[in-house]
Amino acid sequence: MTPEERLALLKRNTQEIVTEEELLNLLKQKKKPVVYLGTAVTGRPHIGYFVWVLKMADFIKAGFTVKLLLADLHGALDNCPWDVLEKRYKYYSEVIPLMFKAVGADTKSLEIVKGSSYQLDKKYTLDLLKMSTFTSINDAKRAGSEVVKFGDNPKLSGLLYPLMQALDEEYLQVDVQYGGVDQRKILMFARENLPKVGYRPRVEVMTPLLPGLLGKKMSASDPKSKVDLLDDEKTVQQKLRSAYCEEGKVDDNGVLAFLKHVVMVLKQDRKEKFVIERPEKFGGNVEFKSYEELEKAYLQKKIHPLDLKNATAKEISSLLSIFDGKKAKTLAEEAY
């Protein structure tokens, strides 16, 4: 692929790139750039995680080395109890690679890194202290406000969170950091403050957050808003049946959002069609080659919400079939 073709792939379903020009220059100058995404080992991973798994797969296709940071210390800073931290790390270490396998990603260029493997080193700690000397409490709190659970009585730990995420860009030796748009304030904090401790700013890539099944942000802390990776087929069907999916409406529609950012991306890459099965008396089966076709039909009320939910539930259950083994369930019981 040309640099421009690689850029087009990376822009697919992204909300913002800071900056696109820097990313294109990187693609022109470096054959094997490095990108990282960090996820704190807090709540149970859910199907919304497939959005970034697929985007990381795009980075791999575009010639990147992908570093996935399983941020155990960040989990503790964001109120994960210390006594279950290692258990949650083990659970994430088990299920996240399976998610990459479920979407058919090439994992030869995927490296999983444990945060505490380097974040306790002397030099990292010194840089963290340096950064703390010029970061105000207000700036740290503002940077982490969309990510860290500060509550009414914020803890000092939450203020360290964005500083460490900024330093991770340097200590993981990456060119790009990727995250959800909820990470934007932290990513901009990193661009502004890394140069103050002598390191170059990185390119920041963001994708939108999926609305949950109830029409709000999909959240690990709200079981009704999301489908857990270990949910069985019957549970998936029940959750989808209860999902907010108003006929002819796209806004805050978690079902359509999952189709756009996950299912239809997979279908497009595999050159497959998305099939909605219906009895002949209701028009028979209907197929879609692209999300745009599907959304148009839904807006025109040619697709009933229940038919859309049933088809989506089938696709989700297919993705989750990889988690049928006992190991993930045992680790989840120990961690949560």
Sorted by where each begins, the domain ranges of the chain are 3-207, 223-335
β-bridge partners, 274: 288
Q: 306: which residues sit within 8 A by CB, 6+ positions away?
A: 241
Q: What is the pLDDT of residue 220?
A: 59
Low-confidence ranges of the chain (pLDDT < 50): none
List the CATH code of the domain at 223-335: 1.10.240.10
Query: CA-to-CA distance for 109 and 126, rounded, in angstroms?
Result: 31
Topology of domain 3-207, per CATH?
Answer: Rossmann fold (3.40.50)
The 10s digit of each residue's pLDDT in 47-60 is 999 999 999 999 99
The 10s digit of each residue's pLDDT in 178-215 is 999 999 999 999 999 999 999 999 999 999 988 888 76
Q: What is the pLDDT of residue 151?
A: 84
3-state secondary structure the chain: CCHHHHHHHHHCCCCEEECHHHHHHHHHHCCCCEEEEEEECCCCCECCHHHHHHHHHHHHHCCCEEEEEEEHHHHHHCCCCHHHHHHHHHHHHHHHHHHHHHCCCCHHHEEEEEHHHCCCCHHHHHHHHHHHHHCCHHHHHHHHCCCCCCCCCCCHHHHHHHHHHHHHHHHCCCCEEEEEHHHHHHHHHHHHHHHHHCCCCCEEEEECCCECCCCCECCCCCHHHCCECCCCHHHHHHHHHCCCCCCCCCCCCHHHHHHHHHHHHHHHHHCCCEEECCCHHHCCCEEECCHHHHHHHHHCCCCCHHHHHHHHHHHHHHHHHHHCCHHHHHHHHHHC
Query: Tell me, what amino acid is at 52?
Result: W
The encoded tokens of residue 306 equal 């229940």
- CA-atom Rg of the chain in angstroms: 20
Instruction: Say how many Å lie between the first and final Cα of the chain, rounded.
Output: 44
Query: CA-to-CA distance for 274 and 271, rounded, in angstroms?
Result: 10
pTM (two decimals): 0.92
Query: CA-to-CA distance for 254 and 305, rounded, in angstroms?
Result: 12
Residue 158, φ and ψ in degrees, nearest 5? -65, -25
